[in-house]
A = this chain, B = another copy of it.
């Protein structure tokens, strides 16, 4: 689904984006938060909370669930990662969001996930909500299937 590439670049970009956001939002990218964000980007696929936990503990970080869940909460609140609801897993966000929304293509073959940033989807969903008198505050779209790479094999 994604081009093969060195992750180091996306990790770097993600971290510097995170730092900028923390300045803007007046909050702190503490070592734990930074480490969790880094691990999520390193994985490059959805990663589970307890897998993060295991990796943290193997690197001399504190390895208790609340630690990682707090970091995840922080990163989600600041739009630096998203939760893939259908997998109880977390993935980095490299998209600029004007609204609270996340939209994914999830390949059930290779488990790669691509985040969509198509305004058209938001527009359609927003129109339909409005038609029902519903005021949306947060949208989540998860499309499972087979990615182009996997479809060819």
Q: How far is the CA of A136 from the CA of B137 in the complex (A)?
A: 26
Give A1-15 interface residues, CB cut-off 8 Å to B: 1
Whether B134 contacts A146 by the Cβ 8 Å rule is yes
Secondary structure at the A interface, as helix, strand, loop or mixed, is mixed
In the bound complex, residues from chain B placing their C-beta under 8 Å from that of A134 are 1, 105, 107, 114, 143, 145-148
Whether B128 contacts A135 by the Cβ 8 Å rule is no
Asked if A77 lies at the interface with its beta carbon under 8 angstroms from chain B, I say: no
1/0 per residue A101-129: CB within 8 Å of B? Answer: 00001011000001010101100110011
Chain B residue nearest in CB terms to A142: B140
Q: Tell me how many residues of A have a C-beta within 8 Å of chain B.
A: 33
In the bound complex, residues from chain B placing their C-beta under 8 Å from that of A142 are 85, 139-140
Chain B residue nearest in CB terms to A83: B86
In the bound complex, residues from chain B placing their C-beta under 8 Å from that of A144 are 136-140
Asked if A39 lies at the interface with its beta carbon under 8 angstroms from chain B, I say: no
Q: How far is the CA of A108 from the CA of B137 in the complex (A)?
A: 9
Chain B residue nearest in CB terms to A85: B85
Chain B residue nearest in CB terms to A133: B148
Interface residues, chain A, with chain B CB atoms under 8 Å away: 1, 85-86, 105, 107-108, 114, 116, 118, 120-121, 124-125, 128-129, 132-148, 151
Of all A-B residue pairs in the complex, the 10 with the closest CB atoms, nearest first, are: A133-B148, A85-B85, A136-B145, A138-B144, A137-B145, A135-B146, A124-B124, A140-B142, A105-B134, A135-B145
